Amino acid sequence: MKVHIIGIGLIGGSFALAIKLAFPEAEIYGSDADEENLQKAKELNIINHFSEPKDLQNADVVLIAVPVNAANKVISETLDLVGDETLVLDAGSTKSGLCKAITGHPKRRNFLAAHPIAGTEFSGPEAAIPNLFNNKTNIICEVEKTAFKLQERALEIFQRLGMRIRYMDPVSHDRHIAYVSHLSHISAFMLGKTVLDKEKNERDIFDLAGSGFASTVRLAKSSPAMWSPIFKENRENVLETLNEYINNLTHFKELIENEDFQEVYNEMERTNHIKSILNGIN
Amino acid sequence: MKVHIIGIGLIGGSFALAIKLAFPEAEIYGSDADEENLQKAKELNIINHFSEPKDLQNADVVLIAVPVNAANKVISETLDLVGDETLVLDAGSTKSGLCKAITGHPKRRNFLAAHPIAGTEFSGPEAAIPNLFNNKTNIICEVEKTAFKLQERALEIFQRLGMRIRYMDPVSHDRHIAYVSHLSHISAFMLGKTVLDKEKNERDIFDLAGSGFASTVRLAKSSPAMWSPIFKENRENVLETLNEYINNLTHFKELIENEDFQEVYNEMERTNHIKSILNGIN
């Protein structure tokens, strides 16, 4: 099996490592807009070969794992070059704009729109880990627009990688993912900023930070080059979630201002049942 | 060594387990306002005996680990009963009000005000873990007001438990800890509320949540009975941090509204250096 990976960072690199374990006979080809990343991926043995445009004709699978602002163009240009039997996958965090942009492409049936809910706050091929996708959810959009034989190939790959599949339309995907993923990142980035601004002259204050702060602010280590385009692409939904988050914080602040600590208690208690919902997520 | 623990939940229970490992000859006495908690602590072998007020006279160490709204009264009443050689410690998350309230007590020199920066989002004796304090910071306030011999006893205990000591005045403690601890909890609770409100009719949406959301919202599992009194006690500082957090979120929202994604990128990049600061916090 010839697998090409375009964009060999955390996601592309982890996919390469996972494929090698699940399909020992697979040959991995890689390309990246950043020459240094690409060389590193080769040195780390994450890829076997560099991927050239002319090789795409004979590829079995192409995974495109680039920032969402580049994805539409890269996916469209890749589809222009692949063979009739090639499966093209993406892994982007937004789906509406992409699905619309790609809808009329003559090779639309070669493409499967996917979003593996997997990642860490790190980036680049040196952050790749072979079991990143194991036990994670993979959201697939507009599955009916992909050729049946290529759907089957994709599902076999996802199954061997240990992923759960959820089917969803792209508009619902973008709305829900704004809540359960995009908002968490903004919440963490602004928490980090608030504390850094206050404590910039007292670096040793961070000695006082415990595991709770570290956990809540963890996502503020994430890559701006990845996240700025996501917020742009999913602007309307992100603004809605941010409005609601700010309103909730303002209401909580007013309860403290008014010394209504019974209601402060109630607000927290009502949210506590998130315990049961989060069971099973690591 | 006779160690009494008043309030045998996550913190008191973990202290008991850690003391048993570090001082195998220690006898642990426990009491708790909640009879069920106390019985559980006995069944789990976290304590050896129930602590009676008359036993406090002969105690070597008393740890008071109760919610901060009960602490002033419990600490004062405990000091009334202990012997001249007894060390009384607390472990509360706020320090200004307590240090002020206790300042004129005839046995003030028996008391050491401490705040171990350690905890989990769980509570009760069944959440106790023996290495909770290992490698954690312990903030000590107004050390000069504690008898020298009792300071030495406290330091030996903290050292055997593997803690780093930081000395700080109580007013600074409350201001800094509002940023690096109290704000994280509100940020997590309101993130949890925002997502639950939105997705209450679509529980399976949480299937889509990944490890990033779980990490950012983790503290929303914390105990309202512990946290509501902390926000009350540290009201002024908490309101200041909340104002700054809401302002930063509002500014970030406006950048997205105005489609200034270069500045969205810059904001995130400036916060990224929190990476280097968080090194070493687990």
Helix (H, G, I), strand (E, B) or coil at A3: strand
The reported pLDDT for the residue numbered B277 is 76
Whether the CB of B177 is below 8 Å from some CB of chain A: the reply is: yes
- What is the residue whose two structure tokens read 């063979």? A83
**Nearest residue of chain B to residue A179 (CA atoms):** B195
Query: Distance between CA atoms of B16 and B46, rounded to whole angstroms?
Result: 6
Residues of B whose CB is below 8 A from A281: 206, 209-211, 213-214
Res B197 pLDDT > 80 = yes
Mean pLDDT of A241-264: 98
Helix (H, G, I), strand (E, B) or coil at B164: strand
The reported pLDDT for the residue numbered B275 is 81
How close is the nearest chain A Cα to the Cα of B52, in Å? 31
| Closest residue by Cα to residue A109 from A79, A139, A81 | A79
Query: Distance between CA atoms of B122 and A51, rounded to whole angstroms?
Result: 50
The reported pLDDT for the residue numbered A282 is 47
**Nearest residue of chain A to residue B180 (CA atoms):** A209
Tens digits of per-residue pLDDT, B127-143?
999 999 999 999 999 99
DSSP class of residue A59? -
Query: Distance between CA atoms of A95 and A171, rounded to whole angstroms?
Result: 7
CB of A30 closer than 8 Å to CB of A5: yes
Question: Of A88-92, B201-205, B209-213, B276-280, which range is least confident?
Answer: B201-205
At residue A198 the predicted structure's pLDDT band, cuts being 50, 70 and 90, is confident
Res B116 pLDDT > 60 = yes
Share of chain A above pLDDT 70, in %: 97
Q: What architecture is the A2-168 domain classified under in CATH?
A: 3-Layer(aba) Sandwich (3.40)
B244–A197 C-beta distance less than 8 A: yes
Sheet holding B87-90, edge to edge: B49-50, B27-31, B2-6, B61-64, B87-90, B111-116, B137-141, B164-167
DSSP class of residue A121? S
Whether the CB of A91 is below 8 Å from some CB of chain B: the reply is: no
Share of chain B above pLDDT 90, in %: 89
Buried b (16+ CB within 10 A) or exposed e, B63-81: bbbbbbbebbebbeebbeb
CB of B91 closer than 8 Å to CB of B64: yes
Residues of A whose CB is below 8 A from B259: 232, 235
Res B202 pLDDT > 90 = no
The reported pLDDT for the residue numbered A277 is 75
Tens digits of per-residue pLDDT, B231-244?
999 999 999 999 99
Which residue type sits at A188?
A
CATH of domain B172-278: 1.10.3660.10
Domain ranges of chain A: 2-168, 172-278
Res A165 pLDDT > 50 = yes
